[in-house]
Amino acid sequence: MFIIETYTTAVLFSAITMICWGSWANTQKLASSSWRFELFYWDYVIGIVLLSLIFAFTLGSSGAQGRSFIADLQQADLSSLSSAFWGGIVFNAANILLGAAISISGMAVAFPVGIGLALVIGVAVNYAQNPIGDVGLLFGGVALVILAILLNASAYRSLPKDQTKSPTKGLILSIVAGILMGFFYKYVADAMFLDFTQPLPGKLSPYSAVVLFSLGIFGSNFLFNTLLMRRPFVGTPVSYSDYFQGSFKTHLTGILGGIIWCVGMAFSIIASDMAGPAISYGLGQGATMVAAFWGVYVWKEFKALPASKHILLKMMFILFLLGIGLIVYSKLV
């Protein structure tokens, strides 16, 4: 299987993760004018499953190192399989709430608050399990991210009331999504052998773990998304018959969103061997800054913000950049 051999390459893969995780929601925004989030999300999940399988049968089954995908699945024990699958369930619960928050409050709020909080929790959880990197620098970066989250929330609360859809609901959904999102990565990491060049009996390769993870998302979606379709946070209920009335282009937009996100997930997992789970996850969650950029400068989600409050957004970006920089540097000292 394909394995990263240098820290520089691992950082590059984590940066690609950051871009993918911060950009997939643009497909939701593109589809939102004519397509409900709950319907979009089914195509998004299908996209995740498709790309995880493509990677497993290509990058995960080529080369002389590691085990091929099918052989890896055949030897894996139930504990590893269930851990990766459970990670998908936890992620799906979080991501559905995040998607609902995006539909209410926009990318420039849901990502910095939700994913920023997930970064804080995820770095702490993954570092406790696999302590790689200078603890002072790593958590100094996390502290700056926390400040950036608070600035973003403050800016959002400063928007005129008639320009927002239930701002409190959007913030609450983002916070709950962030708390759940901070734990999913740990379960996927638990399922894998830590040194990708030395497969352990019973454990999964990164590619197999991502497949089981994606199946956990797909399976749990029949519960989580069905409930959301019947009792949406915003709007009227939708049905499965509504889903099948979507155009090919609409479905393809959702699938593309899932593919973009899964590229980021796969690259983050592949990078975790050389960078360490805490650092690769933390860098990937720099997606908050990418998504905020899309929301602020492309989708103009803060165009109604009073001029006196624009400094909050500028400071948010600066603190996010400094925080991510410290997380990267934490392994170099």
192 DSSP β-pair partners: 204
Q: How far is it, in rounded angstroms, from Cα 143 to Cα 268? A: 22
Does any domain span residue 224? yes
Amino acid identity of 237?
Answer: P
CB 210 within 8 A of CB 267: no
Between these two residues, 290 and 77, which has the higher pLDDT value?
A: 77
Q: How far is CA 40 from CA 14, 33, 322, 328, in A?
A: 26, 11, 34, 34
Residue 239 lies in a domain: yes
In a domain, 190, yes or no: yes
**Segment 82-122, tens digit of pLDDT:** 999 999 999 999 999 988 888 888 877 787 888 888 888 98
Tokens of 221: 């979606």
C-beta atoms surrounding 57 within 10 Å = 15
Q: Is the pLDDT of residue 333 over 80?
A: no
Write down the pLDDT at residue 162. 53
Residue 161: predicted pLDDT: 65
pLDDT of residue 164: 46
Instruction: Quote the mean pLDDT of the chain.
Output: 90
Residue 17 lies in domain? 7-329
Kindly state whether residue 19 falls inside one of the protein's structural domains.
Answer: yes
Q: What is the pLDDT of residues 150-209, one digit of tens each?
A: 888 788 778 876 544 566 788 899 999 999 999 999 999 999 998 888 899 999 999 999
Bridge partners of 204, per DSSP, are: 192
Rounded to a whole number of angstroms, the distance between the first and last alpha carbons of the chain is 30
Q: Which residues contact 162 (CB under 8 A, 6 or more apart)?
A: none
8 Å CB contact between 304 and 106 = no
- Is 318 a domain residue? yes
Alpha-carbon torsion, ordered 189, 190, 196, 197, to 10 deg: 170
pLDDT digits (tens, 9 = 90+) for 203-253: 999 999 999 999 999 999 999 999 999 999 888 999 999 999 999 999 999
Q: Is 322 exposed, middle or buried (0-12, 13-18, 19+ CB in 10 A)?
A: middle
Q: What is the pLDDT of residues 14-65, one digit of tens each?
A: 999 999 998 998 999 899 878 999 999 999 999 999 999 999 999 999 887 8
pTM above 0.85, yes or no: yes
Torsions phi, psi for 240 (to 5 deg): -65, -30
Block residue for tokens 């000292």: 333
Residue 291 pLDDT class (50, 70, 90 cuts) = confident
Host H or E run for residue 282: helix 277-284
Contact status, residue 10 vs residue 271, Cβ threshold 8 Å:
yes
Please check whether residue 284 is in contact with residue 23, taking contact to mean a CB–CB distance below 8 angstroms.
Answer: no
In a domain? residue 120: yes
- The pLDDT score that the predictor gives to residue 136 is 94
pLDDT of residue 83: 97
Q: To which H or E segment does residue 255 belong?
A: helix 248-275
Task: Extract the tokens encoding 17.
Answer: 């993760």
H runs (alpha helix) in 68-205: 69-75, 78-105, 107-110, 116-129, 135-157, 167-190
Domain annotation covers residue 60: yes
Task: Look at residue 2 and tell me if it is in a domain.
Answer: no
> What pLDDT is stored for residue 153 in this prediction?
76
Does the pLDDT of residue 289 top 50, yes or no? yes
pLDDT band at 262 (very low <50, low <70, confident <90, very high): very high
Residue tagged 């400063």 (tokens): 158
Number of domains the chain is built from = 1
SS3 317: helix
